[in-house]
Amino acid sequence: MLPLKFRPMTIDDLPFVMCIENAVYPFPWTEDIIYNCIRLQYECWVVLENNEIVGYAIMSIAANECHVLNLCIATEAQRKKSGAALLLKMIEVVRHKAVTRILLEVRVSNQIAYHLYTQNGFTIIGQRKDYYPTTQGREDALVLELLITKSHVTH
């Protein structure tokens, strides 16, 4: 695996981000949603391998809490530790912003993402019924939390 680089997402990244978003998710976000996240100065980051965007994360921060809204890795870059590296980078970013906890939702059926989060210290704190759309209707989401302390160490 090549060394990964991280940087804040820019408007110029939207075509690349949207390509990944549309390829990975059956119900992708629109370009306007991601554009507004950048415009409103959410924590929007990209991960690059060989100077190509292979993933991104979007987080909102309010009242010392961070909510991971989207963390996505291109299909061809999945299972190569890019997602774990991006997650750890996002933990590091918010740790420096007085965040005390990170929240996120994950599809009940998305065991790969669930294991990524739990292997990095997230725990289940709840469930949201019918949270995600599916081709067959709706799917529940697990609500996960990571408590951040001043001594929280990222790998």
Question: Edge-to-edge strands of the sheet including 101-107?
Answer: 4-8, 43-49, 52-62, 65-73, 101-107, 137-147, 123-134
Q: What is the pLDDT of residues 47-69, one digit of tens each?
A: 999 899 999 999 999 989 999 99
Res 96 pLDDT > 70: yes
pTM to 2 decimal places: 0.90
Domains, in order of start, for the chain: 4-147 (3.40.630.30)
Number of C-beta neighbours around residue 143 at 10 A:
17
SS (H, E, C) 80-96: CCHHHHHHHHHHHHHHC
pLDDT tens for 3-28 read: 899 999 999 999 999 999 999 988 99
Local confidence band at 2 (pLDDT 50, 70, 90 cut-offs) = low
